[in-house]
Amino acid sequence: MMDEANRGRLSDNWQAVLHEIAEAALASSRKPADIKTIGVSKYVNIDCTRNLFEVGCKELGESRPQVIWKKAESPGLGEGVQWHLIGHLQTNKVRRVLQYKPIIHSIDSKRLLDSIANESRTQGLITRALLEVNISGEDAKTGLSPTAAEALLETLPIEGVEIIGLMAMAGRGSQPEEARRQFDHARDLRDEWRSRYGLPLPELSMGMSRDYHAAIAAGATMVRIGSRLFQGILDNE
């Protein structure tokens, strides 16, 4: 179990992150309320995840669907959490994970989109999802190339899924200026596609612990913060 000291650190870290994000928003003449902070709990166990929720983080991000269903079934994490799936989703895990109504940030193929749409219709849901776009050009990164994303956008709308925006990651080890250039590129693609395909695409999920500042300056509406929240905690557990 997490002791009092670690719980206090977690609460302080959460408040500090909220504060820094609000500052970054104001520095870009944006409203802090327009940026949603997702706490990425993939590094920590159920107990620490529950503590994060209890100190005020209601949006939780996980890379693996199995972890969402395990954590969502545990006491204290069922009601009131909005789960975000930020990692690759295999079609054989779609049915089970949809029961927890996650926002899916990682649509990376037409096949996956169709599978989520089918299963959402079966379960009577409208699933909110984002297209993961590869803006860094790195082969190792997952996500759709801009051309592949366009091919997929051509097929919308699709019943059962609402595509609410784009998710993007800066290339590994990008310096802040390079990250900023990549995030600007993602926003420009969103703006272009919004008018070309007549879709609102309000959300831009971009920015992690090391580059959220650049992402907010570029227009991010969702930032996904993990390691920064657990500073001083993971080593002591």
Q: Where are the alpha helices (DSSP H) in 124-175?
A: 146-154
Which range touches ligand PLP (CB under 6 A), out of 25-33, 45-53, 146-154, 204-212? 204-212
Residue 146 contacts ligand PLP per CB under 6 A: no
Q: Which of 40, 116, 161, 218 binds ligand PLP (CB under 6 A)?
A: 40
Kindly tell me which of 9 and 224 has the beta carbon lying closer to ligand PLP: 224
Could you tell me how many residues of this chain bind ligand PLP (CB under 6 A)? 13
Q: Which stretch binds ligand PLP (CB under 6 A): 66-74, 147-155, 185-193, 208-216?
A: 208-216
- The answer to whether residues 37 and 16 touch, using CB atoms and an 8 Å cutoff, is no
Which of 48, 163, 179, 208: binder of ligand PLP (CB under 6 A)? 208
> How big is the chain, counted in residues?
237
Stretch that binds ligand PLP, among 67-75, 147-155, 196-204, 207-215 (CB under 6 A): 207-215
SS3 assignment, position 101: coil
- In the bound complex, what is the minimum distance in angstroms from residue 195's beta carbon to ligand PLP? 27
User: In degrees rounded to 5, what are phi and psi of residue 42?
Assistant: -65, -20
Q: Report, in Å, the least distance between residue 38 CB and ligand PLP.
A: 8
Q: Residues with Cβ < 8 Å from 129, sequence gap 6 or more?
A: 103, 104, 105, 107, 113, 116, 161, 162, 163, 164
Of 113 and 215, the one with the shorter C-beta distance to ligand PLP is 215
Q: Give 67 or 72: the residue with its C-beta nearer to ligand PLP.
A: 67
Report the distance separating Cα 223 and Cα 20, nearest Å: 12
Instruction: Give the number of other Cβ atoms within 10 Å of residue 101's Cβ.
Output: 16
Taking the C-alpha atoms of residue 62 and residue 60, their distance in angstroms, rounded to an integer, is 7
Q: Structure tokens of 24?
A: 């970054």
Give the separation between CA 100 and CA 95, rounded to whole angstroms. Answer: 10
- Residue 35 in contact with ligand PLP, rule: CB under 6 A: no
Cα separation, 95 vs 147, whole angstroms: 28
CB of 15 to ligand PLP, least distance (A): 17
Query: Which residue in the set 11, 63, 118, 231 belongs to the binding site for ligand PLP (CB under 6 A)?
Result: 63
Q: Are the C-beta atoms of 64 and 104 separated by less than 8 Å?
A: no
CB of 205 to ligand PLP, least distance (A): 8
The residue number with the shortest CB distance to ligand PLP is 226
Positions in the binding site for ligand PLP (CB under 6 A): 40, 42, 63, 86-87, 208-210, 224-228
